[in-house]
Amino acid sequence: MDRRKSLKALALGTVSTGLLLDACKLADKKEAGADKVVAKDSNADNPTGINRMKEELAQYKEETSYTFFTPEEMATIAVLSDIIIPKDDVSGSATDAKVPDFIEFIVKDMPEHQVPMRGGLRWLDLQCYDRYKNAFTDCTKDQQIEIVDQIAYPKKAKPEMKQGVSFFSLIRNLTATGFYTTEIGGKDVGYMGNTPNQWNGVPADVLKQYNIAYTEKELKECRSFS
């Protein structure tokens, strides 16, 4: 099968059309109508957009049929996730990337996170109430950062704050993994794959940077593209 046909076959069999149709057009500039190819998935009737067994669809339906976190808990998660991943020069914030929605889903999918998250959120509110007579979300920005500073650094945190450290490490990890697996986060970290291409080896400037080179044997034997 030639490359042009391969890419067309690919476009016909997937929902992620944008990239593919571009690739298809690049490979097939002359053929009219390539951009009119309609995407079709073999189980397009499932709401997830990805191939699922019926048992997986049942699980998805169950997990999305109820809400785990209370509105107050969700508000706290939103504030914390934006403290962890704020908007900066490179990319948007955790809430821009809908990280709280991901956390809501993932604790239902991975029930082992439920108690540490729920308990940690309550622990945080009680710490704030003791110090500032307010729940975390009702504290001032400075107060929020003051308490976060006491649980964000595992090695220098006081012993009596260790439960908070565990909680903050968990929500930092959930926030990071939720953020960098979105389009915004993937671009931020610079992941450039997941698109049809021709692997022609490490770019020349990178080889030079690390003072490393392909051997003659490799250049002779390996697949090359001009």
Partner 1 sequence: MGKFQIKVQPKKYDAIIVGSGAGGGMATYVLANAGLKVCLIEAGPMFDPAKDSNQLKNPWESPRRGASTKFRPFGDFDGCYWGWEIDGEPYTQAEGTHWEWWRARMLGGRTNHWGRISLRFGPKDFKHKSIDGLGDDWPIGYEDVKPYYDKIDQLLGVFGTNEGLVDAPDGIFLPPPKPRLHELFIKKAATNIGIPVIPSRLSILTKSINKDRGECFYCAQCGRSCKIYADFSSSSALIIPALRTGNVDLITDSMVREVLTDREGLATGVSYVHKPDMQEYQVTGRTVILGASACESARLLLNSKSQRHPNGLANSSDVVGKYLHDSTGADMGGIIPELFDRKRYNEDGVGGMHVYTPWWLDNKKLDFPRGYHIEYGGGFGMPLYGFNWGIENLNGTYKIKGKQKEAGGYGASLKEDYRYFFGAHVGMAGRGEAIARKDSYCEIDPTVVDKYGIPVLRFHTTYTDYEINQAKHMKETFSEILHSMGAVITWGGDDTKANNYGLHAPGNIIHEAGTVRMGDDPKQAPLNKWGQAHECKNLFNVDGGMFVSQGDKNITWTILALSMRTSEYIVDQLKKNQI
Q: Which is nearer to partner 1, 1 or 38 (CB)?
A: 1
Q: Which is nearer to partner 1, 89 or 133 (CB)?
A: 89
At residue 19, what is the residue type? L
Alpha helix stretches (DSSP H) within 29-70: 54-63
CB of 187 to partner 1, least distance (A): 10
User: What's phi and psi for 46, nearest 5 deg?
Assistant: -90, 145
Q: Which is nearer to partner 1, 75 or 170 (CB)?
A: 170
CB of 134 to partner 1, least distance (A): 21
Gyration radius from the chain CA atoms = 24
CB of 77 to partner 1, least distance (A): 14
**CB contact at 8 A, 124 and 116:** no
First-last CA distance in the chain:
20
Tokens of 58: 């049942």
CB of 62 to partner 1, least distance (A): 12
**CB contact at 8 A, 122 and 128:** no
CB of 71 to partner 1, least distance (A): 21
Q: Which is nearer to partner 1, 59 or 163 (CB)?
A: 59
CB of 168 to partner 1, least distance (A): 8
Q: Which residues contact 162 (CB under 8 A, 6 or more apart)?
A: none
Q: Which is nearer to partner 1, 135 or 152 (CB)?
A: 152
Helix axes 141-151 and 162-180, enclosed angle (nearest 10): 100
Q: Which is nearer to partner 1, 70 or 224 (CB)?
A: 224
Tokens of 7: 């890419």
47-50 CB contacts, 8 Å cutoff, 24+ apart: 49/15
